[in-house]
Structure 1
């Protein structure tokens, strides 16, 4: 039976997912944050950058921001995963990255490291359930200790390569859309921003992101909706803020993407 819990932590930059997936499958999508998935049981298959991957029990899946991928169970019995969702700026701050264009990348999409897996699994448990067995200072230090080891062993610090769309970048286009999520967006409007014709814009956008502008914007709205719900904004207000004027349509789209209703996020 599918069961998913989305959990907040005391650090707004880090949120958690506890997922038991049997029938639910993720269609092609992207995240605004880094996702680190710990497979605790079963096997998950996913496609990423044209390659099929399969991760099993004890393995860590690493998915950077803005990367298109899907996901589903290999076995009829499903799989269980514990996920850290971490905003990119958290790494910039914790690692004292000197350039805003620098970002953390990883050498592999799947890591098998039993010691590190156990450490991150314990961190997930402590952050998600606010266990009182350790002092507050120790809890505050947990994320950097675990992810510091992950980066030291498997990570790289590299400049982020901008994706250009005409005279704009994908990042600048995202900033514009984030400021206008509650408004109707027209194709010509986006094309004009990038100094392209609508046909050129559609073609360049699909080649850059792997998605149509509409599908990409729809996912952006849902990603922002999840962030607002985690920050305790009421569901009806969230729907309006991200451009859904029908609550039923918003709830249906949200559950299709995340496997839970907006009201289930806490």
Structure 2
């Protein structure tokens, strides 16, 4: 039986692409989001994905597609777990490539219908692209695969009208989110948020959770984790990052980092 493993690295020739390769059986991701467009290929087994209020099984040979900012989980959908490869594409890179194939003056929206795509030809393209970004391949080959894969992905499975957020009147939820993003280095209290919105604790949590899918405290921890990743990319050690991000201690950060990105901060730092 294959052991669990995970590895993450950034493409040396394309700074806007982060790559992940893993096999998990008992490990499960907590609710989280990615700032990037997350595209994966399931090579063996099956992944179970909670996304947009639905539970989805993504079996071998299929593609998983998660739009930027969408909250989701990931865990085993079969006894053998799931073996997969992921791309995390910076949205600026995606837009830049798609704009080359759009009508003049029209800016494409990098959103996908997802989260399950069955497209054997695209699956093969993505697998080749992932391998090429991890090996010694001619730049022409890598760039060609990248352009072909993303263009085909959005041409066949994109939705120009898809919005990643509900557009109802959620000014209070947005105000809470903005406050948490502006004060992420601190341990914001529920009382502070209640004063900000003039809502009761129950109303506040319900309002925020309805719009974002997680409670305010969960969002704050996730935001801290995303900031921690940026600081690690700058070369800071894990202990310093934990302190800078306002975690209780390094182990507190490490647990949440692993649950979010599938790898420990120490191993992530070594991959930079």
Counterparts of 1:167-186 in structure 2, within 5 Å, are: 167=171, 170=174, 174=177, 176-186=179-189
Equivalent in the alignment of 1:104: 110
Cα distance in structure 1, aligned partners of 2:190 and 2:124: 47
Give the alignment's TM-score, normalised by structure 1.
Answer: 0.84
User: How many matched pairs?
Assistant: 261
Q: 1:74 to 1:184 in 2, by over 3 A?
A: closer
Q: Note if contact 1:41-1:79 (Cα within 8 Å) is conserved in structure 2.
A: yes
Query: When you count strand as a share of all residues, which structure comes out higher?
Result: 1
Deviations 1:167-219 (A, max 9, x none): 4663x754543343222212343345556555432221011112111011112
Gaps of 5+ in 1: none
Shift of 1:141: 4.6
Q: Note if contact 1:6-1:15 (Cα within 8 Å) is conserved in structure 2.
A: yes
Equivalent in the alignment of 2:216: 213
Equivalent in the alignment of 1:29: 32
Cα distance in structure 2, aligned partners of 1:197 and 1:89: 39
Which of 86, 107, 113 is the aligned partner of 2:119? 113
Shift of 1:25: 1.5
Which of 153, 156, 159 is the aligned partner of 1:156? 159
Gaps of 5+ in 2: none
Cα distance in structure 1, aligned partners of 2:166 and 2:96: 21
Give the alignment's TM-score, normalised by structure 2.
Answer: 0.82
Counterparts of 1:1-266 in structure 2, within 5 Å, are: 1-10=3-12, 11-96=14-99, 103-127=109-133, 129=134, 131-134=135-138, 136-158=139-161, 160=163, 161=165, 167=171, 170=174, 174=177, 176-194=179-197, 196=199, 198-265=201-268, 266=271
RMSD of aligned residue pairs (Cα, Å): 2.8
Shift of 1:151: 0.5
Cα distance in structure 2, aligned partners of 1:226 and 1:99: 33
Shift of 1:65: 2.4
Q: Note if contact 2:125-2:145 (Cα within 8 Å) is conserved in structure 1.
A: no
Cα distance in structure 2, aligned partners of 1:106 and 1:166: 23
Q: Note if contact 1:182-1:240 (Cα within 8 Å) is conserved in structure 2.
A: no
